[in-house]
Amino acid sequence: MKWYKFMMIAALTCCMACNDDGGNNDNNGNNSGGNNDIPQPPVENPIDTHHYVGADLSQWLVYKEDGAVWKCEGTVIDNLPAFFAESGYNVARLRLFVDPDKSSTACQDLDYVIESATAMQAAGMNICLDFHYSDTWADPAKQHKPQAWSTLDVTALKNKIYDYTRETLQTLKNHHITPSHIQIGNEITAGMLWNTGRVSVWGESHDTPQQWDNFLGLLRNAAKACREECPDARIIVHIDRGGDAETARRYYERIADIDYDIIGLSYYPYWHGTLGQLGNTLRTLSNTFPKKAIMIVETGFGYNEWSDDSATTAYGNYASTPEGQKQFLTDLVTTIKQYDNVTGIFYWFPEETLIDWRSSHRIDLNRGLFDKETGEALPAFDALCNFGESE
């Protein structure tokens, strides 16, 4: 196993630390700045040109508690965060749900994130906090409101997203957790907090001035809370269209007055097309939004015939084998290195591994970076780290 050492983590963590003095609460701790629908000029932060190699390790802690096994060349890995950090992964992406079912696969509440992020920071990794703004999985096909927010009207919902975002970040800071990156929503191509904030860029039923006004108000308040509490953190707006340049361009043009720093894309070849299509999207976005960094905040590829992408061949000639997985990721890194605005790439659920089949937290995708039958690290484990090698 090739290991990549990096020396800048401590400095990056310090320089991107959340500001403990931000905020607009009054002396009683009450929110005085939530629902502000007047668009403010976006903060024009310079692009952070450091290269980030990330891993969405959200399931790691509960997998560990349920007896998962990770190995490297036959040796059991006791400290998985340290293994990732020492291998060259410098960001841990962690999802957060509002009030999740702890016995489900979507089990990451705030206490869970605090425990997991503490371990990641101790290992030397930066934290990317991924707000789902839901009690369960949020993605392009579903953006369900948290149950406790379900009866709120649009004004109350805008206030709630501001308060919740701000209070969450305050709690993290109180536990000495300092996100370097914050996602305000997960794959929000069609908006968030449906149906109040549901939108479309293609003239569908939710592509109306009112729906966009609702969504932009929600997004604006989420960003406002982040900027107040963590002014040095980079704010990410994340959609799923890594291979769809036109939808991506239309979308980010519609949110032009939102205060954010990074265009975040998901790119899974079996859903989003070829590396050529990804390159077209990156080129289009780089040319249209030259002041925005771009990150691939989710990617993945199967390593055996049971992976959910094994039946799809339109994305290229990569076999669903350990060697095919490594070759795909190697070629993916080569592709994104052609674009100066692309500053990060994160693998989603690399910690998938050998675990008791009875675990209620088990997710079977056969796309992890460990063999699910043996727990052994796969050849692709190091492939993404080449993105940061030159540094």
Residues identified as active-site: 187, 298
Let me know how many helices (H) and strands (E) the chain has, helices first. 10, 12
How many Cβ atoms from other residues are within 10 Å of residue 150's Cβ? 11
| Rounded Cα distance, 57 and 131, in Å | 14
Amino acid at 326: K
CA dihedral 165, 166, 170, 176 (to 10 degrees): 50
Question: What are phi and psi for residue 234, nearest 5 degrees?
Answer: -90, 125
Cβ contact 56:95 at 8 Å: yes
| Rounded Cα distance, 295 and 282, in Å | 10
| Rounded Cα distance, 153 and 163, in Å | 15
The Cα-based distances of 80 to 111, 112, 262, 301 in angstroms read 19, 16, 28, 21
Bridge partner list, 92: 55, 127
The Cα-based distances of 257 to 163, 192, 228 in angstroms read 21, 17, 17
CA dihedral 59, 61, 66, 68 (to 10 degrees): 80
Q: Where are the alpha helices (DSSP H) in 107-231?
A: 110-123, 154-174, 209-229
- Quote the DSSP letter at residue 354: B
Cβ contact 297:238 at 8 Å: yes
| Rounded Cα distance, 101 and 209, in Å | 35
> Which residue, chain included where needed, has tokens 């403990």?
20
Among residues 68, 78, 146, which one has the least CA distance to residue 106?
A: 146
